[in-house]
Structure formats: structure tokens, C-alpha cells
Amino acid sequence: MVRLYGEAPYKIVLVHGGPGAIGSLKGFAQELAELSQIGVVEALQSKYSIAELIEELYIQINDICSDRVTLVGHSWGAWLIALFAEKYPELVEHVILIGSGPLEDKYVSEIGIRRFQNLSEEDSVILRRVIDNRVTDEDLEKIPNILEKSDNYCLERREEHKADKTDSEMHNKVWSEAVKLRTSGKLLTSFQNIKSKIYLIQGQVDPHPVKGVTIPLQENGVLCEAYVLEKCGHSPFMEKYAKDEFYKILIQIIL
């Protein structure tokens, strides 16, 4: 399933995070289509394995887009588009990572340190279940508010930025696979195999450290053009002080 914004041809495909935060990019998609005057596809994930999600994205792009596309992935979606670009390079013009998680395990501990500093004990317990991959549907309903405190600088509170639904089964199954890919080094290998140019846009106060993406790529000879936004956390398209600069950079890359 997809949602379309603007008019054909559709040249930009947005891929949400989570895993399981279905529909969380609708506000982003709508605004990007209006500002860029380019057709935007919001790809909605419905599968429970990485291999199936890659094939689902292939069908979505192949059915709707008539030419190579710019893939924009937020959070977990940044990894998914990289894995997709490795398998289907002929469909991809640019790969744009937003709020990407680190590509090597040695940077992961820094995420928790940054997050838990900003949370109550109750919120910390729920977030710990998410990190340990023991999340429940009730937890996922609370996670957006928790991450608003731990992951961001100053968010605009708008209804269209909320996910349509959350899927804990998808989160637990897909994230379990994704973590193994990172630990084994296969995730980083996938980035090495991407033929398209890679861009990273990351908030300065995003708990996911920028160096966790840029350093592994640099050490393995992968070119990545990185932009770090001040007064900005994990979701630049929702940040009051960084949103305008974010869209300016993004549209400049796409055009």
C-alpha cells in the first residue's frame, strides 16, 4: 500500500521507520510534495521480514514510478532503503538517510546514554523493553511521546505527523533481523555495494550519533555527503528550528 502526493511522475519515495511506525511520514510527504512540486510516494510497510519488505518496496516503486527514484528513509527506513538500493540499483537515483541508526555495534551504547538522561523512570522502563525487543502494542502507543522527550529538540505538534498505526509484531521481528545484520557486518557491506550517491541528514541532538554512520562509511571507502542540523533531533521534518533548513537541503539534493 502507498499514498501519493502531488502529481505524476512520482520521483521521490519516502520510507518510514519503526519498524512498525506505519504512516508516520504522511505530514513529511505532503509538505515535501508541496515545496518541491515533485510527485512523492509514501511507501507503507506491511511485511514481517526484511526480505519481504525489500520486495514489497520493489513492487510499490515498479508499479507507480516510471523512472529511477530518490529514496528517502527515516530512522529504520534509512537502513531499508540501503538494503533495497544494493539489490535494485537500477531503480535508485539517490539514497538519502535521515536520522539513521549507527552502522556498527560499537556506537550503539551512546544512543541509550543520550536518551535515558531525558526520561523518567517509568518511561525508561518502557524504552528498555523496546531496546530489548520485548515491545508490546501498549508500549508502542506510548513510544511516540517518550521519544519526543528523548530524541528531539523542539517538535511541532501536528496531527499529520502521527503514525496511522503501530505494529509491535513487525517491530520485534524486523528489528531482530536488522540488529543481526549490523552485528555481522552485512549491513555495512550493503552500504559498500550501493552504486548511487549517499546523503545523510542528521540532527545535532539526535541520540543516534552522526559519527556512527559517517566514520564506518569513511573507513570503508564509501562516499557520503553529510549535513548536521543545529537545534534538531531525530525527525528534522518536525523540528521547529531546523525544519526550513532541512527542506532546503533535501530539495537541493533532489533537484
Residue 218 maps to which CATH number?
Answer: 3.40.50.1820
**Contact between residue 250 and residue 225 where contact means Cβ atoms under 8 Å apart:** no
* CA separation for the pair 38, 32 (Å, rounded): 8
CB neighbourhood size of 142 (10 A): 16
* Structural domains of the chain, count: 1
pLDDT (tens digit per residue) in 5-55: 999 999 999 999 999 999 999 999 999 999 999 999 999 999 999 999 999
Q: Name the helix (H) or strand (E) containing 74.
A: strand 69-74
Structural domain of 97: 2-254
Asked if 151 and 231 count as a contact pair (C-beta separation under 8 A), the reply is no
> Taking a C-beta distance cutoff of 8 angstroms, is the pair 74, 235 a contact?
yes
Q: Which amino acid is at 175?
A: W
Residue 39 in 3-state DSSP? Answer: strand
**CB atoms closer than 10 angstroms to residue 251:** 15
pLDDT in tens, 108-121: 999 988 888 778 88
pLDDT of 160: 67
Q: Is residue 74 predicted with pLDDT exceeding 70?
A: yes
